[in-house]
Amino acid sequence: MRWTLPNTLTALRLLAAPGLAVMFLYFSRPLADWFALLLFVSAAVTDWFDGYIARAWSLESKMGAMLDPIADKAMVVIALMVIVGYSSMSPWLVLPATFILFREVFVSGLREYLGDTAGTLKVTKLAKWKTTFQMVAIAVLFAQGVFEHYLAVSVEGLDPGQVGAILDREVPDPHGLIWKEQGMFYAGHIGLTLLWVAAALTLVTGWDYFTKALPHLRDPK
């Protein structure tokens, strides 16, 4: 194993994956949301850089090829687990997250079963787009958590009628409720839309991998 710069970045990204959950154990919100958002975005950026450096500097290795998809899956799975755990369990969030998690387990199982012939399930361009949509969607959903918490803190102690009047722009907004509510609304809707796109790509690429693996799954006659 060669500990090149790309391999080191990938290993750090893998180690950072559990940190997303740990943030919510040792920090109160919204610090936990901020730290998780920054950690996830940093890991996503690192994912692009380690692949680019490996190709540009001819530092591609078997270790990197093995660790990179594992780090990606770990980041996505743990991030979705945290987001769903701190959500209202809306089916609009739970369903795409379930599709994504099911596909990751299914394809990983296929690759493990195929063993030496797993090369038939090489990552496609569509699968890379799927990963991109997943990463962006999760980052936006973490941002929604930041807006949501700041809004909850701002309305604490205020009369519900006063909150409604502020959001309806009938009275001044000294607490910044409007921009916090709008940030939460747009981040939530954009994040869910991107997550559903990622879920659709997840199912398409999962089916593509299954059809490619099918000849190797047939019993000999």
pLDDT tens digits for 162-192? Answer: 888 888 888 888 888 999 999 999 999 999 9
pLDDT of residue 49: 81
pLDDT of residue 100: 92
Q: Which residues contact 221 (CB under 8 A, 6 or more apart)?
A: none
Question: Looking at the domain assignment, is residue 221 inside a domain?
Answer: no
Question: Looking at the domain assignment, is residue 169 inside a domain?
Answer: yes
- Asked whether residue 98 falls in the same domain as residue 178, the answer is yes
Question: Looking at the domain assignment, is residue 134 inside a domain?
Answer: yes
pLDDT of residue 64: 73
pLDDT of residue 189: 94
- Asked whether residue 2 falls in the same domain as residue 62, the answer is yes
Question: Looking at the domain assignment, is residue 219 inside a domain?
Answer: no
Of 52, 69, 86, the one marking the end of a domain is: 86
pLDDT of residue 121: 67
Question: Looking at the domain assignment, is residue 9 inside a domain?
Answer: yes
Q: Residue 138 CA to chain centroid, in angstroms?
A: 4
pLDDT of residue 88: 75
- Asked whether residue 105 falls in the same domain as residue 206, the answer is yes
pLDDT of residue 221: 64
pLDDT string in tens for the chain (221-residue length): 567 788 888 888 888 889 888 888 888 877 888 888 888 888 888 878 877 787 777 777 777 777 888 888 888 999 999 888 887 788 899 999 999 999 988 888 887 777 766 566 677 788 888 888 999 999 999 899 889 888 888 888 888 888 888 888 888 888 889 999 999 999 999 999 999 999 999 999 988 888 888 887 777 76
State in Å, rounded, how far the first CA of the chain is from the last one.
41
- Asked whether residue 76 falls in the same domain as residue 161, the answer is no
Question: Looking at the domain assignment, is residue 184 inside a domain?
Answer: yes
- Asked whether residue 5 falls in the same domain as residue 77, the answer is yes
CA distances from 105 to 89, 125, 142, 196, 199 (A): 21, 20, 23, 18, 14
Query: What residue spans of 57-124 are helical by DSSP H?
Result: 62-85, 91-114
- Asked whether residue 132 falls in the same domain as residue 64, the answer is no
Question: Looking at the domain assignment, is residue 43 inside a domain?
Answer: yes
Question: Looking at the domain assignment, is residue 220 inside a domain?
Answer: no
Of 46, 70, 86, the one marking the end of a domain is: 86
What is the count of structural domains for the chain?
Answer: 2
- Asked whether residue 136 falls in the same domain as residue 115, the answer is yes
pLDDT of residue 200: 95
Using CA atoms, how far apart are residues 57 and 69, in angstroms rounded to an integer? 20
Collapsing DSSP states into helix, strand and coil, what is residue 79? helix
Q: Which residues contact 117 (CB under 8 A, 6 or more apart)?
A: 216
- Asked whether residue 37 falls in the same domain as residue 134, the answer is no
Q: Could you tell me the pTM of the whole model?
A: 0.85
Q: Which domain holds residue 74?
A: 1-86
- Asked whether residue 20 falls in the same domain as residue 105, the answer is no
Quick one: three-class SS letters along 18-62?
Answer: HHHHHHHHHCCCCHHHHHHHHHHHHHHHHHHHHHHHHHHCCCCCH
Using CA atoms, how far apart are residues 22 and 40, in angstroms rounded to an integer? 13
- Asked whether residue 59 falls in the same domain as residue 102, the answer is no
Place of tokens 């901020």: 34
Q: Which residues contact 126 (CB under 8 A, 6 or more apart)?
A: 201, 204, 205, 208
Of 53, 71, 86, the one marking the end of a domain is: 86
- Asked whether residue 163 falls in the same domain as residue 104, the answer is yes
Q: Which residues contact 92 (CB under 8 A, 6 or more apart)?
A: 192
- Asked whether residue 79 falls in the same domain as residue 150, the answer is no
